[in-house]
Amino acid sequence: MRLLAVLLAFASLATAQEKVLRIPIRADGPKTLDPVRGSTQYEAEVCEQVYETLVQYSYLEYPKLEPLLLEEMPKVDGLVYRFKLKKGVRFRDDPCFPDGKGRELVAKDVFYSWKRMADKRNQPKAWWLFEQTIKGFDAYREAQNKAGKFDYDAPVEGMRILSDHEFEVELTEPVYRFLYVLAMFQTAVVPREAAERYGDAFSGHPVGTGPFLLSRDEDWQRTKSIVLHRNPGYREAFFPDAGGEARHEAAGKRIPFADRIEITFFQEDQPMWLEWKAKNLDYVTVPSENFTEAYTKRKRTLRPEWEEQGVTSAPIPLLDFIWQCGFNMEDPLVGGYTEEKRALRKAISYAVDLEETNDRFYNSINVVYDGMIPPGLDGHPPEGRSPKGARGPDLDKARALLAKAGYPDGKGLPPLEYWSATGTIQQEMLELLQRQLGKIGVQLKPRFVDFSQLTEAVHEKRAQLFGFAWGSDYPDGENNLALFYGPNESPGSNSFNYKNAEYDELYQRIRTMGPSPERTELYARMRDMVLEDCPFVGAMARTRFYLIRPRLRNCRPCETFWNWLKYLDVDPGAK
């Protein structure tokens, strides 16, 4: 009995000392954990814990890129990139491998993973990342999808394996974004054994090289939560050392620090805020309706009661493109490119008051701007204004344009179906939009669905009108301009299904251009071309305000990438 008591005491102590990271996702969570099928921030947040890419953003020196699965950054000779993989990187243990033991990652795994993006049976969401980029890859994709069976072993001219740990990639042209793409979770490396063994179930059974893993199927409760555990086979990796006075106290310590990550999904902000106040979350992004509970509205300083608890604040400006209303340009009513169709969309745009939306739902913190390129990036209009922007409120212009479209005072225009994610705030925002458009006689028919259902409706071109927020995948306005490139139409990133031959030609030019005044001028020209056609009403960019508990250490939030959870440490004895 005494021995049993001692063992129980040790077990209790071990449990008490376990480091558990508790964080929220403000949606119904990921729809898939298969990188090539993923497209949303919420899929990135989870996938980047279990899978790894060739390169990553520096945690302490963002937006600098650095090696992750590579020994060093690739050597570049013209259009040829030479890569060298780290040795000793292993996939997690899984029954898909002989004896259940994860094997070492090798060069052919990289090419297999990229080829999965070309296989239409995998329902890839981001082929545009590789399109017209690697020599022979587009031809390979077309040939294999036409064949009766997709041959992953067939060669691609621009993909050459030199050894188990070295390979070359030859580009078709100097695509500027190529290295940024290799930091995106959709290009993460997966093992062929797992993808082939689990088939469609691979979406819920990730097998990666990352610092965390999904231990059991039941650890992912769809739309509710997911629990990730430390990968016991993760290689030696360490917190970055910036050196000198910038050296962090955690520098050189082995990562990951957390034993477990508990991620809770919140479709409503209020339950998330209550969990934060109950000290059940280690950080939270402050909902707009609770902003003045956390900060003084005028100075935006943290209130004393939070400082007394040791809570710290981290305001993070986002590379944000929020549109109030997106139009499906293939819809027979709101789509199209005639003067009448443009007039209808611009009438709606002039009726919308983004500043009222900003004040009511974002405490006037958002940056309101014309176009799709957020503040801080080349192509963002001076002072946020473009002469081509149809920014309201201007009800006289709105009514005149509505009449030009053939619907004077809204007569003859049927209610427009507006798709939105479920949630109290979303409902209130839509009610405001309905009131604003009602002033010119335009009616909206709400369609509230889960976020995953919303994205599915947009990908299938079923949503007539919809609202979204797009966070840039990498810090270059080209990423935002890609949202209007014709071949990227749904289910790709062009959710608007916008088509403009001149625009597409210009997009092909900027893909190969590095930063320059000429490129910036083209960005502005393309921005204004889209504004002239008005496929969306917007835009706004947020600053995300993070509150961080004192038990959480090393937290430097960033929403361009999400694999920084491996750097977070917690004090298991603190609340």
110-151, pLDDT tens digit by residue? Answer: 999 999 999 999 999 899 999 999 999 999 999 999 998 999
Residues 6+ apart with CB under 8 A from 455: 31, 39, 40
Distance of CA 446 to CAs 417, 421, 457, Å?
A: 6, 10, 14
Q: Count Cβ atoms below 10 Å from residue 510 Cβ, excluding itself.
A: 23
For residue 6, pLDDT over 90 is answered with: no
Please state which of the ranges 87-101, 245-259, 537-551 shows the lowest mean pLDDT.
Answer: 245-259
Where do the CATH 3.90.76.10 domains begin and end in the chain?
A: 53-184
Which pLDDT score is estimated for 298?
Answer: 82
Domain 53-184 -> CATH class: alpha beta
> Which has the closest alpha carbon to 118: 186, 178, 199, 165?
186
pLDDT band at 437 (very low <50, low <70, confident <90, very high): very high
**CATH number, domain 320-541:** 3.10.105.10
Q: What class has domain 16-51+227-317+546-554?
A: alpha beta
For the residues of 480-509, what is the DSSP string, one character each? HHGGG-GGGBTTSSBTT----HHHHHHHHH
Q: Where in the chain is the domain with CATH 3.10.105.10?
A: 320-541
- The pLDDT score that the predictor gives to residue 7 is 46
CA distance 163 to 166: 5
Has residue 501 got a pLDDT over 70? yes
Residues sharing a CB contact under 8 Å with residue 303, sequence separation 6 or more, in sequence order: 293, 294, 295, 296
Q: What pLDDT digit, counting tens, does each position of 360-407 carry?
A: 998 899 999 999 999 999 999 999 999 999 999 999 999 999 999 999
- Sequence ranges of the chain with CATH classification 3.40.190: 16-51+227-317+546-554
Q: Report the candidate in 98, 74, 103 with the shortest Cα–Cα distance to residue 88.
A: 103
Burial class (CB in 10 A: 0-12, 13-18, 19+), 243: exposed
Pairing of strands 543-548, 159-163: unpaired
How far is residue 515's CA from residue 523's CA, in Å, rounded to a whole number? 11
At 169-197, the pLDDT tens digits run 999 999 999 999 999 999 999 999 999 99
Kindly report the pTM of this predicted structure. 0.87
Residue 396 CA to its chain's centroid (Å): 38
Compute CA distances 225 → 39, 217, 264, 363, 405, whole Å. Answer: 19, 12, 4, 29, 47
d(CA 258, CA 369) in angstroms, rounded, equals 40
* DSSP sequence for 298-338: TT-PBPHHHHHTT-EEEEEE--EEEEEEEE-TTSTTT---S
